Structure 1
Amino acid sequence: MQAAPTVEHACGLAFESCRDMLSRVQPLAQVATERWAMPSQRPHTGRRIRRPIFPSKRAASTHRTARRFPLLPHHKDTYVLTSTFVYFDLGKVLVTFDPEIACRQVGQLLGCDSPTIRAAMYDSGIEELLESGKIHEAEFLDRLFTHVGRSAAADDVLEAMSAMFRLNTSMLPVVSRLVNEGIPMGILSNTCGPHWDWIQRQNYGLLRLIGPRAALSYKIGCMKPDPQIYSAAAEIAGFAADQILFIDDRIENVQGATDCGWRAIHYVDTPTLVRDLRAMGYRCFV
């Protein structure tokens, strides 16, 4: 009679059996990996490749979700997204502007050169008073006309000083992606009534996408980076300070926002903004 195998002998036989099975499975696994690779990784064969069959609807749903929202690679500069409302500055972010155009157009109406109008409108400080809501349009025009010693129709002057804005079209894809993600947005700007009214009349689709919420200095009665305007803007948005992201081209306004507990991005150009939003965790820019 043959002796019964020892425990060590039985374990050795089992190990050899497993190793043989693994050597058979590994090539099949490699083929399966290549067959079901993502489209960007799948080798082109000219043939239609069948989709994998999932054992349950739940597994299929998990697969689709993983493909649509791949995990972000770990990086020390990648943050967890906490901001749920986005405020954009208006000038030099959503629209561009050139004060020299305004000075030239107003000068043509009043029969003055551009330097004279610049001194009357900007260097004198009346433009800033108008934007901060400390004076109204009638007083602004009265001071302007007094300074240059000439006058013209009020509506014509306000139109000439405002028709200097152009849409920053590079921001349209950025705003569109945020809209698709359901992220609420608004505008926070140092501006005056004539400028805002002129921009509204242009009916820019970009501003329609952002929505109606606007925190405007001439209505609030103070200008960035005064803490009061950020407080008023948060109330208009309906979100707490730590839930707001602000995008502005002036570093002092960005600093003012962060001092009030907001998150903020210094806008340099649109490609840099997209990278900053991606780093903050906005998955629509991944």
Structure 2
Amino acid sequence: MSDSPNASIEFCYFDLGNILVSFDESVACENLSRQTKLPIDQIRERIYASGLQQRYERGQLDDEAYADLARQALGLSIDQLSTRDFLTAISDMFSPIESMVAAVQAMRRQTGRVGILSNTCDAHWRWIRNQDWRISGVEFDVTILSYQIGWMKPDVQIYDAAEQAAGVPPERILFIDDKDENVHAARQRGWQAAQCWGGPDACAALDRYMIR
């Protein structure tokens, strides 16, 4: 399916990272390096490349379990890196894409309902929602988050949950995401979907769907 409209949109899902907020994992690694004095490459390998962060985003670990495993992987004690400091370091890497506030509001006026469909973790979600950003204050009708569902895009199960929560036919769902594999999975289900980045790119994608 192409990224051109072929049915009226009744619900729109937005991805979180690189659509509503930008992020940079290298910043998280730098934050941890400053706290622990460990090399950035070592942190990146043992937290991210190892799949540990992904387990947290799948909801397989809670905050304490994740922090405990991270400390073990880095050879640190809780006195050297508290759970709170660890979670703050890995979360303080986001920046708002405030131009998306108007895009979400325009979508709500058009369809009546909007949602978030994102691979994320508890700490990141809390961090973003607690910031004094305009985008953090936007209300969404549905939030489908990987750590709550136990599945990650492009797993079919997370799209199943999103469809059920949207409550509209698949062809009337629009999905905005920055990753090709996630957009492809949505189109395979009959959704309308566009791959883009938050900001002007996303606004242009929404224009193609004639919803701005």
TM-score, normalization: structure 2?
0.89
Aligned equivalent of 2:30:
104
Q: Distance in 2 between matches of 1:98 and 1:164?
A: 6
Gaps of 5+ in 2: none
Matches within 5 A, 1:125-140: 125-140=51-66
Q: How does 1:61-140 map to 2 (within 5 A)?
A: 79=5, 81-140=7-66
Percent same amino acid at aligned positions? 36
Give the 3-state SS of the residue equivalent to 1:112 in structure 2: coil
C-alpha displacement of 1:112: 1.1
Equivalent in 169, 192, 195 of residue 240 of structure 1: 169
Residue 210 of structure 1: CA displacement? 4.1
CA distance in 1, matches of 2:138, 2:109: 10
Shift of 1:240: 2.7
The answer on 1:148 being equivalent to 2:61 is: no
Matched-pair contact (CA < 8 Å) for 2:32–2:90: yes
**C-alpha contact 1:86 1:186 (8 A) present in aligned 2:** yes
**Aligned mates of 1:182, 1:223 — CA distance in 2:** 26
Q: Which amino acid aligns with 1:204?
A: W
The one-letter code matched in structure 2 to 1:197 is R
SS at 2:67 equivalent:
helix
- Cα distance change, pair 84–203 in 1 and its aligned pair in 2 (3 A): farther
Can you give the 5+ residue segments of structure 1 that lack an aligned partner in the other structure? 1-76
Deviations 1:190-236 (A, max 9, x none): 00111111111115332433425210001100100011100101222
| TM-score in terms of structure 1 length | 0.67
- Following superposition, the deviation at residue 139 of structure 1 comes to 2.2
| Cα distance in 2 for residues equivalent to 1:156 and 1:212 | 32
Matched with 1:162 is 91
Structure with the greater alpha carbon radius of gyration? 1
Give the Cα separation in 2 of the matches to 1:272 and 1:81: 22
For the structure 1 residues 269 and 191, does the alpha-carbon distance in structure 2 shift closer, same or farther, using more than 3 Å as the test?
A: closer
Equivalent positions of 1:173-184 (< 5 A) are 173-181=102-110, 183-184=112-113
CA distance in 1, matches of 2:94, 2:200: 21
What's the counterpart of residue 258 of structure 1? Answer: 187
Structure 1 111/250 Cα, relative in aligned 2: closer, same or farther at 3 Å? same
TM superposition shift of 1:269 = 5.2
- In the alignment, structure 1 residue 249 sits paired with structure 2 residue 178: yes
Kept in 2, the 8 Å contact 1:94–1:168? The answer is: yes
* Equivalent of residue 121 in structure 2, options 192, 196, 204: 192
Cα distance change of structure 1 residues 116 and 126 upon mapping to structure 2, 3 Å threshold: same
RMSD value, Cα: 2.0
Q: Deviations over 1:90-122 (max 9, x none)?
A: 001100011111111112222312111111110
1:52-84 deviation digits (Å, cap 9, x = unpaired):
xxxxxxxxxxxxxxxxxxxxxxxxx97455111
TM-fit CA distance, 1:86: 0.5
Q: Tell me the alpha carbon deviations over residues 217-269 of structure 1, each in whole angstroms, 9 at most, x when there is no partner.
A: 01100100011100101222232322211000000000011111211011145
Return the offset for 1:127.
Answer: 0.3
Instruction: Describe how 1:207-218 pairs up with structure 2 within 5 A.
Output: 207-218=136-147
